[in-house]
Structure 1
Amino acid sequence: MTTHPHPEDHAPEHAPRMQWAKAAPEVYKAVYALEVASRKGLDPTLVELVKIRASQLNHCAFCLDMHTKDAVAAGESVERIVLLGAWEEARHFYTEKELAAIELTEAVTVLTDGFVPDEVYERAAKHFAEQELAQLIALIATINVWNRFGVATRMAPGHYQAGSHKA
């Protein structure tokens, strides 16, 4: 039987570089306000799927730890969370609306070609009313902001408790 270490048993690979929320409290408060505003009117399950997918793409372990725990606590299945990294091969686990949001999340997060392809935007626009689509884009932009702070400052995963930081 293989045993895996618990986060509490080991120090993080890299020590956090700083406590950015304490070093720049006004920035933290502004991003948090953006977080609260960006979630309005969006399905909470969809919110967590978007945050998890962007965090996977950005390699933000802290945000992955947080949002997978929050998703499970909100009733999301572990199966759908695990398969999110391979959503294109596991499309049948997600609704068409979720797939459109996940695809838009990838396009906005990665910006591979320097823009969001028209067909990706149009697919999302079919499933989201204009105001809801604006909220979704704001949500994607916001998790990317959080991810960049998390990755740049090496925020350590493993100690977040689900629901302890609700927006």
Structure 2
Amino acid sequence: MTHENTVPRTPRLDFAKAAPTAFKALISLDAAACQDLDPALAELVKIRASQLNGCAYFLHMHTSDARKAGESEERLHMIAVWREAAGFFADKERAALDLTEAVTLVAQGGIPDDLYARTAAYFDEHELAGLLALICTINTWNRIALSTGKVPVPQGPGVRR
């Protein structure tokens, strides 16, 4: 399904102000999900889910966060094509990205048992539970941002207005 003019010109709703309890709960869930995960891996997951969901707001936020955390431009450019860019990502990262895609696009094919088993080989139970919670959380954030009309604000040199 496609929609013409999917991004509104002005925000529709300030979710944090309109639903502060839900907003705080999502922030808490996001923090809890990341507790047992490598921060760099968490950013890769957030970036990939945001790419798949077409969420410019969180894609901008998490690529910026990843850069600040020391992630290379080279790897950031390869996240969208991680399957073809095998040398850029460790096997554990590739497993996390694969699970991210399956959970984000769950209606297209579910979570195959072999994918789950491959991912579980790299993560202990606490990490795997955190990874699943993180994937679900970023998908929720993406859907809120897209529904409420949040858009990124470009900054820095080369910005066109």
Q: TM-score, normalised to structure 1's length?
A: 0.85
- 1:97 maps to 92
Structure 2 residue corresponding to 1:128, chosen from 98, 118, 123: 123
- Of 144, 147, 151, the residue aligned with 1:149 is 144
Q: Which residue of the other structure, out of 114, 119, 143, is the alignment partner of 2:114?
A: 119
How many residue pairs align between the two structures? 150
Which residue of structure 2 aligns with residue 85 of structure 1?
80
Cα separation, 2, equivalents of 1:144 and 1:96 = 23
Residue 119 of structure 1 and its aligned partner are, at CA, apart by 1.3
- More deviation, 48-57/112-121: 112-121
Q: What is the distance in 1 between the residues matched to 2:80 and 2:108? A: 21
Matched residue, 1:4: none
Residues of 2 paired with 1:55 and 1:31: CA distance? Answer: 16
Q: Which residue of 2 aligns with 1:37?
A: 32
Is 1:25 equivalent to 2:20 in the alignment?
yes
Once the two structures are superposed, the pairs formed by residues 43-82 of structure 1 within 5 Å of their partners are 43-82=38-77
Match for residue 11 of structure 2? 16
Work out whether residues 48 and 79 of structure 2, in 8 Å CA contact, stay in contact via their aligned partners in 1. Answer: yes
Shift of the alpha carbon at 1:159?
A: 5.7
Whether the 8 Å contact between 2:96 and 2:119 is mirrored in structure 1 is: yes
TM-score (norm 2): 0.88
Q: Render the CA deviation track for 1:58-99: whole Å, top value 9, x for unaligned.
A: 111110010000000000011111110011111110000000
2: CA distance, partners of 1:16 / 1:159: 16
Q: 2:134 aligns with which of 131, 139, 147?
A: 139
8 Å Cα contact 2:78-2:85 kept in structure 1: yes
CA–CA separation in structure 2 for the residues paired with 1:85 and 1:159: 21
Aligned-residue CA RMSD (Å): 1.7
Structure 2: runs of 5 or more not aligned: 1-6, 156-161
Q: Which residue of 2 aligns with 1:109?
A: 104
3-state DSSP of counterpart to 2:13: coil
List gaps (5 residues or longer) in structure 1: 1-11, 161-167
